[in-house]
Amino acid sequence: MENGNHHHQPINGNGNGYCVNKHLIKTKGELITCKAAVVHGPGEPFVLEEILVEPPQKMEVRIKILFTSICHTDLSAWKGENESQRAFPRILGHEASGVVESVGEGVSDFEKGDHVVPIFNGECGDCECCSNHLSSNKCSKFGVDPNMKVMVGDGRSRFWSKDGTKQIYHFLNTSTFAEYSVLNSACLVKIDSKFSPHLKKMTLLSCGVSTVLLALLMKLVMKVAEGARARGASKIIGVDINPTKFSTGKAMGVTDFINPTELEKPVHQRIREMSKGGVDYSFECAGNVDVLREAFLSTHEGWGLTVILGIHPSPRMLPIHPMELFDGRSITASVFGGFKGKTQLPIFAQQCIQGINGINGDNKTTGKVITCRGAVAYGPGEPLVVEEILVEPPQKMEVRIKIMFTSICHTDLSIWKGENESQRAYPRILGHEASGYGVNPMMKISEGARARGASKIIGVDVNPTKFSKGEAMGMTDFVNPIELEKPLHEKIREISRGGVDFSFECAGNLDVLREAYLSTHEGWGMTVVLGIHPSPRMLPIHPMELFDGRGICASIFGGFKAKTQLPIFAQQCIHGEVNLDEFITHELPFEKINEAFQLLIQGKSLRCLLHF
* pLDDT per position as a tens digit, 6-43: 333 332 333 344 444 443 446 778 899 999 999 999 99
SS3 605: coil
Tell me, yes or no, whether 294 lies in a domain.
no
| Number of structural domains the chain divides into | 2
456 with 488, same domain: the answer is: yes
346 part of a folded domain:
no
Q: Is 77 exposed, middle or buried (0-12, 13-18, 19+ CB in 10 A)?
A: buried
- Name the band, by pLDDT with cuts 50, 70 and 90, for residue 404: low
Residue, of 223 and 292, whose pLDDT is higher: 292
- Domain assignment of residue 485, yes or no: yes
Question: Taking CA 264 as the corner, what is the angle to CA 263 and CA 268, rounded to the nearest 5 degrees?
Answer: 65
- Residue 160 is predicted with a pLDDT of 97
Tens-place pLDDT, residues 180-212 = 999 999 999 888 887 777 788 788 777 755 544
Write down the pLDDT at residue 336: 53
The CATH number for 580's domain is: 3.90.180.10
36 & 160 share domain: yes
* Domain edge (last residue) among 519, 536, 556: 556
Please give the Cα distance from 285 to 212 (Å, whole number): 35
Work out the burial of residue 241: count CB atoms within 10 Å of its CB; fewer than 13 is exposed, 13-18 middle, 19 or more buried. exposed
Same domain, 134 and 51: yes
**Same domain membership, residue 536 and residue 511:** yes
pLDDT score at 135:
56
> pTM (2 decimals)?
0.63
More confident residue, 299 or 195: 299
pLDDT tens digits, one per residue of 73-100 = 788 788 887 777 789 999 999 999 999 9
- pLDDT over threshold 90, residue 268: yes
Q: Which domain holds residue 495?
A: 441-556
- pLDDT digits 0-9 by tens, 482-539: 899 999 999 999 998 889 888 888 777 889 999 999 999 888 888 988 877 777 888 8
**How large a percentage of the chain has pLDDT more than 70?**
78
pLDDT at 222 over 60: no
Residues 463 and 501 in one domain: yes
**Do 42 and 146 reside in the same domain of the chain?**
yes
Q: Please check whether residues 548 and 566 belong to one and the same domain.
A: no
Q: Identify the CATH number of the domain in which residue 511 sits.
A: 3.40.50.720
Q: How many CB atoms lie within 10 A of CB 403?
A: 13
Give the domain-ending residue among 556, 580, 599: 556
Say what the pLDDT of residue 509 is. 84
Are both 512 and 581 inside the same structural domain? no
Residues 573, 531, single domain; the answer is no
83 shares its domain with 54: yes
Shared domain for 67 and 136, answered yes or no, is: yes
Are both 159 and 71 inside the same structural domain? Answer: yes
Measure the CA angle with vertex 22, ends 191 and 114; round to 5°. Answer: 15
Task: Tell me what the pLDDT averaged over the chain comes to.
Answer: 77
Least confident of 224-233, 264-273, 304-313: 224-233
Provide the b/e sequence for 274-307 (b: ≥16 CB within 10 Å). ebeebbbbbbbbbbbbebbbbbbbbbbbbbbbbb
**Are the C-beta atoms of 216 and 452 separated by less than 8 Å?**
yes
Specify whether the CB–CB gap between 584 and 607 falls below 8 A: yes
DSSP E strand boundaries for 384-444: 385-391, 405-407, 428-429, 433-435
